[in-house]
Amino acid sequence: MLSALEVFTTVVVGLMVGVEFSVAFVINRILDGLPDDSGQLGRAHGGRMLGALMPFWYIGSLVLSAVWAVAGWQHPGTGLVVIGAALLIVSVLMSVLLLVPINNRGKTWTPENRPADWKEQMNRWDRFHYARVGVLVAAFAVLVTALT
């Protein structure tokens, strides 16, 4: 049963990392290259869509990692699972404190109501997001290492 939990947790975290990596290095670059207001509208829609889904994915990944750590407490690699869970906590804190406030503003913007500094705010979100992706990749790598 523990092996199934380990694999399931690793897959869930890995898929989340893939989505966030794709947002950072693929989707946002595509949106930024669109003409006129299309990119800003796409970011607003993405903020609404992913903003509704990702909290469950982040918290679910953290809960699964915590359950893995508790269930496997006597097994080798548990220290790595705890480190992975700690990194997921860092990613949740980064999200709540740095990214969500910007996302909550950005998801309501239209070409008619967006602030003059909207691009600067999106650039700030992107920088925070790159850092969060780095934390998530590290968490995933640590969890994968704990499997061995």
Residue-level pLDDT at 46: 96
Residue-level pLDDT at 96: 97
Please classify residue 49 by burial: count the beta carbons closer than 10 Å to its beta carbon, then call 0-12 exposed, 13-18 middle and 19+ buried: exposed
C-alpha closest to that of 47 among 14, 95, 91: 95
Residue-level pLDDT at 2: 86
Q: What pTM, to 2 d.p., does this model score?
A: 0.94
Neighbouring residues of 132: CB distance < 8 A, sequence distance ≥ 6: 20, 91, 94, 95, 98, 99
CA distances from 59 to 79, 106, 120 (A): 20, 23, 29
Q: Which residues of the chain have pLDDT under 50?
A: none
Instruction: Give tens-digit pLDDT for 84-109.
Output: 999 999 999 999 999 999 999 999 99
